[in-house]
Amino acid sequence: MRTLIVTGTGTDVGKTVVVAAVAALARAAGERVAVVKPAQTGVAPGEDGDLAAVVRLAGDVDTRELARFPEPLAPATAARRAGATPVMAAQVVEAVRALDADLVIVEGAGGLLVRLNDLGETLADVAAGLAAPVVLVASAGLGVLNTAALTAEALARRGLALAGTVVGAYPEHPDLAERTNLADLPAVTGAPLLGVLPAGLGAATPERVLEAARCGLGPLLGGGWSPDRTP
C-alpha cells in the first residue's frame, strides 16, 4: 500500500482538487484508492465536506473522516471549543494502516503545522508515523514562495520527505508572479514541481478532472505533465 500526505501552503489552495485528481488517475489505472481526512472543520453534521467533494470529482473511492468540528478553525481549537475529543496522530496512523487499498491519500487541514490537538501534534507527526512522503499544494500567486520554503524547511528539519509541489489552481491569465513562481517553487523548496492544475476544477465533471489530471500532473502522481509543459 502506497501512502501520500497532502498538505498546503494555506487554506483554499486546491488541496481537495489535487487529492481528487491523484485519486482519479489511480482509479483509471485500476488501483483501489482510499482518502482519509483526519479532521474536517467548518462543516455541520450532515453537510458535505471535503471527502464528498473528492467522491464527486474522482468517482468511487473509499473515504474515512475521523472527526468533524463545526467551526472553521484549526482542528485543535475547533475541538476544544466544541468540547469534543481531538484527533491524535496515532489514531490517524492506525486508521490508515487498517485500510485495504493500493493508494491511501491523507488530506490535512490547512498547512503542515496546523495543530490537531493541544499536545501540539500536526500532520507532520502523521507523516512521520506513516513514513510517508508529503505533497505540498501551493497557491499560484505572490507570497507563496515564503510559505512553501518554510514548509520545506519544517519537513527537512523533521527528516520527512517532500515529494514535490503542485500548484492547485492556476489561473487562465496568470500575472507576472504567477508565471515566475512556477520556476521559483522548486528552487525555494528543493523539491520538484509535480504539476499545475487549472483553476475551476472544483466545479468540473469527473471526466474533466481526469483529463486535467492526465495533462496537469507529472508521472510521480500518475499523469503525463512535465515542467517543460508549463501553462
Q: Which of 37, 101, 103, 198 is catalytic?
A: 37
pLDDT score recorded for residue 45: 87
pLDDT tens string 53-105? 999 999 999 999 999 999 999 999 999 999 999 999 999 999 999 999 999 99
| Band of residue 15 on the pLDDT scale cut at 50, 70, 90 | very high
Report helix, strand and coil shares of the chain as percent, to nearest 5: 40, 25, 35
What average pLDDT does range 150-170 have in this prediction?
98
Measure the CA–CA gap between 158 and 122, rounded to whole angstroms: 12
Please give the model's pTM, rounded to 2 decimal places. Answer: 0.95
Q: What is the pLDDT of residue 83?
A: 97
Burial (CB count within 10 angstroms: exposed 0-12, middle 13-18, buried 19+), residue 173:
exposed
Full set of structural domains in the chain with CATH: 2-135+148-172+181-229 (3.40.50.300)
DSSP 20-85: HHHHHHHHHTT--EEEEES-EES--TTS--HHHHHHHHH-S-EEEE--EESSSS-HHHHHHHHT-P
DSSP-derived letter for residue 132 is -
Summarize the confidence of residues 135-156 as an average pLDDT.
98
Establish whether 37 is a catalytic residue. Answer: yes
pLDDT in the model for residue 229: 66
